[in-house]
Amino acid sequence: MLTPPRTVVRREGGLYALERALQRRGFRHVAGADEAGRGACAGPLVAAAAILPEGRRGEIDGLADSKLLTPASRERIHDEVVSRALAYAVVVVPAEEVDERGLHVCNLAAMRRALASLTTRPDYVLTDGFGVDGLDVPGLAVWKGDRVAACVAAASVLAKVTRDRMMVELDGAFPGYGFAEHKGYITAEHTAALRERGPCREHRFSYVNVAAVSGRDGAPPRARRPADARRDEPMERSCPPGGTVGVALGEQPRPPASVGEDVVMEGGVR
């Protein structure tokens, strides 16, 4: 029996090597998916998916893992991805839903929703860290995918810039927490503000540090959000032409993940 030829990933291809190898095997449209905000204890979780064009047009100068870029570089690359991508999509999961369904469940559901919202159907999917089931195309979960595959790095920039912009807006609506600076991650300044002011409705009450200062640390995980912190309507966000944006609501729940997982800043520094 003949075995199929091996897929060779050329090291000199750098961030684009994996996608180019897949394209040589006939997978023309390779989608990447990633999220921002897993480690934050306030604000939404944001997932994004992107398909970059083949060849030189898909090569974006300076593209890298969003956590390794300066804010100015992220903004520039975000706009480059939006203008060049064959398709992209962004999904926003409000803090309330993270509390109700669990972080890991929401993370996978949001990436699944973003991939399903792409206007160009992918032939292959690369995801950062976690495999996403329920897709009708082959895929691969790549450890530190935003440092290995260009399409995943592009998705990471879309997700992070979208979320950072939202956190700046929330800083105006909920002053005193410093959301514009730390973007909802657990810094010394954020911890001090939580202790002094208590949590606002944009905090994730299922996270142990928020539950502790809210006086609800003895409540079951999914019951930690007090009734007066719930929303009547889901968040609505706009998206530039050419992409899609949505709120990851209404998908079937899965078994909840442990409370407080990944409660550190992405990358450990900011």
35 is in an annotated binding site: yes
b/e sequence 218-232, b meaning 16+ C-beta within 10 Å: eeebeebbeeebeee
Burial class (CB in 10 A: 0-12, 13-18, 19+), 77: buried
Which amino acid is residue 179, in one-letter code?
A: F
The answer to whether the Cα torsion of 99, 100, 103, 108 is positive or negative is negative
Helix, coil or strand: residue 162: helix
Q: Are 51 and 29 in contact (CB under 8 A)?
A: yes
Q: Judging by DSSP bridges, how do beta strands 45-51 and 243-247 pair with one another?
A: unpaired
262 is in an annotated binding site: no
Cα–Cα distance for residue pair 134/92, rounded to 1 Å: 19
65 is in an annotated binding site: no
Residues annotated in the binding site for a divalent metal cation, as ranges?
34-35, 128
Residues annotated in the binding site, as ranges?
34-35, 128
